[in-house]
Every structure is written in structure tokens, then in C-alpha cells.
Amino acid sequence: MRFLSLLLALAPAAGVFGLWPQPRSLETGSTALKLASDFDIHVSVQHPPSDLSDAVSRTKSFLQNDKLGRLVVGRGSSDSSALKTAKSLKTLQLSLSKGATVRSITEESRLALGTRSEEYILDIPADGSTATLTANSTLGLLRGLTTFSQLFYEWSGQIYTVEAPISITDAPAYPWRGLMLDTSRNFFPVADIMRTLDAMSLVKMSQFHWHVTDSQSFPLVIPGFTELANAGAYDPSMVYSPSDVQDIVDYAGARGIDVMVEIDTPGHTAIIGAAHPEYVACAEASPWTTFANEPPAGQLRLASATVANFTAKMFTAVAKMFPSTVLSTGGDELNTECYAQDSETQADLTSTGRTLEQALSVFTQTTHGALKAAGKTPAVWEEMVLDHNVTLSNETVVLVWISSMNAAAVAEKNFRLVHAPSDYFYLDCGAGEWIGDDVANSWCDPFKTWQKAYTFDPQANISASQAHLVLGGEQALWTEQSGPENLDPIVWPRAAASAEVFWTGPGGNGSEALPRLHDVAFRMRQRGVKAIQLQPMWCALRPGQCNLDS
């Protein structure tokens, strides 16, 4: 890291343009280099997997179609004289390091956390001679292609960089660089999810956390359990069929993204009652504030063996739909009053002689047992570890959400963890109350700015011996107040903030980052993602002139 910071310190402030996340090691020059009209990308890999060939085609298409002008006053016009004498780059050569196994990007993306290889080395000489991209895996090559496509700008039909020669050696600091999307409170068509995956891939995110169901609707069609979506989806058109899921995980995999699905249980399940009322306690009970964190109330009757077995079998079926090694059973915001007032649950507890906590542990072991049998690693929300006395297997992944302060406690229990703290990473905060007849602000006010997310330190309060437990983190969109209408602007470019924190590592300087974040946001817009403007364009074209102190 010392070497890296030295490099960054030496680089001229305006010298590093559009790369987001910032590579771990980067050397750039100041020579203009343009793409030859017959520029091509050669893959020196025997029998290249088809998703690698597709990634190469996409990269060529981005290079041609991004048509992004450099973010300086006059855009590219000031580069026209440099371009007259610029050498032309004819070839980018992709190769794997010797002895590397040739697997598809998709397979590499779905390897167990901690065993994926994303590092790559990219060299672009200034003299027009062949640029080279090498990696240990096709996934590394994809990351390198992503970097390559971010280096080029367009002016007057020329596609070029002004920073050759470029030499990059890059690898992520953390394997889990995620985004969570809730598709239950409001529904999102498949096309919206795919566009989101494209944008995630542009900033080298690796993990899509799909919070697919909740108490409000059940849009996932699970083979063998189709009644859940039939009765629980908002509309027959608002479902994810098995083939939709297949399309989404394939699309994600080809873009270096693993999909962890979450079926939140045993809370957040009121809508299961639409198909199976006998499985749900305190369904739509009033006042909801007594029985749930938000309406409608309703939780699985976890003390019932029938319900536990049903849930475990459902997870077995879900596990077959999702190729990821990780699958989440959720587990947040369990409401004990719901069970205290539910006569069926009380009867089950009495007959089994268990406390509610014991019943929760049995329930969780049942569902996690099913996942284990399916070859999956379970993931849970933090309460399962911090608030409840649940026996969990060592490899369980714990998502910290209530507060960033809780990560240390999870680490102390020796669980691997993913940071999703509401005080840094919740994308929905700050838009006011959505509950009726209440003029309050959102519970997690204020709005979490990109700057705030960018200051996140994944190792804060975590001891060195526990550092390895941090898998990474994710920003999250809960969708009580979101839908397809505002998906892009509420997520982008803010969610890119954590992509850099977990790729490059923490400690980045926000003032240095802002011009690059502008750049990637402008590139997203060129690719049809409606990322918001962070500043007036006047400022975007004049880095540093709209700082608080400039």
C-alpha cells in the first residue's frame, strides 16, 4: 500500500481520468493514443469460453458507442492537436497466465468467496504497439476489459486516451462488492435488473444480493411452490419465473456477478399467508406497530415442525434455481410479540417444551440443513448472531445492517461478515415517511450521500486477527418508496462508492474521487443508465472549482 500511495501522490491530479474503482497500482503517461480504425481485441486463449468472447464483443461495442467526451472545458476540443500526431493502437491482446485453468467467466464468478481470481495486468504502450491484458482467470480478463473500456474518450470520431503509456496491476481488496435490491415492496421488471447488473459490472461489483421476497409480495415462482407467487405476487405479470431467474443469473455470471438470493425468514413473510394462512402468525394483525416493524405484520410459525419442514423444502427448491454457493435465509427484525399472542405458536412451544429462542434455533438449523445438503453456504442478517441464541455453522456469512458499530461484535463471534450498515449504505434513507398519517422523516435519516458511503472503513474497530473475516460490503435499496421509475437515479452513481471502497480499499480522498465519479456517472448515462448528476455540469468540467474551499 505504501508503494501505491506514492504513485498516487506523484500522479498529477488531473492525470487520472475515468477509472472507477481506482486500480491498486497505476502508472500513466501523458501521450495521446488513439484506437486504430481496425482496432481489434485478440484472445490468445485456446477454446475461449463463449462468455469471454461475448465480453470482448461488448467491450468493442462500448469503445465504439460510449462516445464520451472528456470532462474538461471544451470537452475533447483541446485534444485535437495532440490527436493529429497520436499513434494508433491496433491490438489489445488477451492472455491467461501459464498454467491457468480455462473456465468461463460465469463459472469463475460463482466460485466460493475467497477463491475467485479477479487480478489482472494491463499494459498499453504509447507507441501504438500491442497492448496486453493478462490474468489468472477469465474473470480477471473481464475486470481488465472493464478497465480498458473506461480509459477511452471520443472526440470528433476519434477514440483515444491522453494518458499513454498506461500500466496497471490490479486486484480487489475484498471479494464481496455488492448491491442489494428489494423486489418485494415494489416490483422491478427483469430488464431493470439486467440494466442494474450492467452498471454493477461497469464498476467491477461482484455480488448481487437479491432480496426477492418480503411481507408485501412474493414475486418468485419456485418450482413445487408455485402457489406462493400465484397467491402472493402483486399481479400475474409481476413474477420472476424460473426462466427469468435463469436469464438473470446467466446475465450476471457473464458479467462477473454472483447472485445471492435471499428469502427472508421467519419474519418478513406475511405474504406467504396468502397461499398458506395456516403457516403465518399475526397475519395482518392490527395495530401493526405491535407485531412488526412495518405493515403488514406476519411471520412464519417457526415453532411448528410442519412450517419448518415446508420452509426447508422451499429453500431446497430455491437452491436449485440459483447456482451461487451462498444463499440467504434472512432473519432480521423478528417480532416476539407476534408469537407471544399467537395461540398456535404457544401450543407448539408447549408441546415441544421449547422456548421461542430454542424453537428459532431449531427452525434455523432445519433451513440451514437444507441449504447445506444443497451445497450452499447460508447467509443471515446480524440479529441471528447478535440478538438470538441460534446455533449457526462456522462458515455462515453475516450481513451487518443495523449499524456499522455492530460489525466488530459479529467479528468477535468469529463469523465472516458483509458490511451493509444502514448508517452508511442504505440508499433509500432520507426521502420522508412512507407510512400514512405520519409526517415524520425516514427512520434512517438523513440521505446517505456518496461522500458518506465513501468514508466507510471496513476494518474499523476490527482487530487484525479478525480482519480476514471481512468479505466486503454492499449498498442496499429497500423499495418502499422506489420502483422502476426511480431505480437508476436513486442507485447510481452512489452505489459505486462502495464498489471502490471494497475494490481499492478504504481511505480514498473524496475530493480526488469526485472527478472520477463524475466520469463513471457520465459513462453510465452514455450506456443508458440514468445516473443522477452530482453537480452542475459547470463543476463537472472544472474539477476542484466547486469544492467547499475553492
Partner 1 sequence: MILRNWLAMVLLLSPAPRYTTALWPIPSSLSRGATAVKLSSVFDIHIDISSPPADLVAAVSRTRSRITTDRFQRLVIGRSTTDISSISSARTLTSLSLALHPGSLVRSIADETNQPITSRSEVYSLAITGDRPSAILIANSTLGLFRGLATFEQLWYDLNGTKYLLDGGIDIVDQPAFPYRGFSFDTSRNFYPVADILRTIDAMSWVKLSILYWHVIDSQSFPLHVEAYPELAEKGAYSAEEIYSQNDIRTIVQYANERGVDVVMELDSPGHTTAIGAAHPELIACAAKSPWASYASEPPAGQLRIASPATVEFAKTLFDSVASVLPSKMMSSGGDEVNLPCWEEDEETETDLAERNITIADALNDFVQAVQGVITSHGKTPFIKSDMVLTHNVPVVNDTVVVVWQTSEDAVSVAERNLRFIHQPSNYFYLDCGAGEWLGNDVLGNSWCDPFKTWQRAYSFDPLANLTEDQHHLVLGGQMPIWSEQSSPENLDPIIWPRLAVAAEVFWTGATLPDGSPRLGPNATSGRNALARLNELRYRLVDRGVSAIALQPKWCVLRPGECDLDS
Q: Which of the residues 419 through 448 are near partner 1 (CB under 8 A)?
A: 430-439, 441, 445-448
Between 279 and 288, CB nearer to partner 1: 288
- Using the rule CB under 8 A, which residue among 154, 170, 480, 519 binds partner 1? 480
78 is an interface residue for partner 1 by CB under 8 A: no
Look at residues 371, 363, 424 and name the one whose alpha carbon lies nearest to residue 396.
371
Q: Count of residues binding partner 1 (CB under 8 A)?
A: 76
80 is an interface residue for partner 1 by CB under 8 A: no
CB of 256 to partner 1, least distance (A): 25
User: What mask of x and - would describe binding to partner 1 in positions 159 to 198, judged by CB under 8 A?
Assistant: -------------------------xxxx-----------
CB of 164 to partner 1, least distance (A): 27
Between 226 and 455, CB nearer to partner 1: 455
CB of 16 to partner 1, least distance (A): 16
- Using the rule CB under 8 A, which residue among 2, 38, 46, 235 binds partner 1? 235
Between 83 and 234, CB nearer to partner 1: 234
Contacts of 380 (CB under 8 A, 6+ apart): 328, 329, 330, 331, 364, 392, 396, 397, 398, 399
3-state secondary structure of 274: helix
Distance CA 533, CA 519 (A): 11
Between 295 and 331, CB nearer to partner 1: 295
CB of 238 to partner 1, least distance (A): 8
Distance CA 312, CA 293 (A): 25
Look at residues 107, 109, 106 and name the one whose alpha carbon lies nearest to residue 254.
106
Residues in the chain: 550
- The CA-CA-CA angle for residues 389, 381, 227, to 5°, reads 105
User: What mask of x and - would describe binding to partner 1 in positions 282 to 321, judged by CB under 8 A?
Assistant: xxxxxxxx----xxx-------------------------
217 is an interface residue for partner 1 by CB under 8 A: yes
Contacts of 94 (CB under 8 A, 6+ apart): 41, 42, 43, 44, 45, 52, 56, 133, 134, 141, 144, 145
Give the catalytic positions in this structure: 333
CB of 148 to partner 1, least distance (A): 26
DSSP symbol at 528: T
CB of 205 to partner 1, least distance (A): 20
514 is an interface residue for partner 1 by CB under 8 A: yes
Q: Which stretch binds partner 1 (CB under 8 A): 164-172, 173-181, 405-413, 484-492?
A: 484-492
Which residues 123-142 are close enough to bind partner 1 by CB under 8 A? none
Distance CA 259, CA 431 (A): 28
What's at 488, amino acid-wise? D
- Using the rule CB under 8 A, which residue among 103, 354, 525, 527 binds partner 1? 525
Which residues 529-548 are close enough to bind partner 1 by CB under 8 A? 530-539, 544-548
Between 134 and 183, CB nearer to partner 1: 183
Tell me the sheet residues that pair with 170: 120
Q: How many CA atoms lie within 13 A of 242 on its CB side?
A: 11
- Using the rule CB under 8 A, which residue among 128, 369, 483, 506 binds partner 1? 483
DSSP structure string for 27-95: EEEEEEEEEEEEEEEEE-SSS--HHHHHHHHHHHHHHHH--PPPSSTTGGGGGHHHHHT-EEEEEEEEE
3-state secondary structure of 545: coil
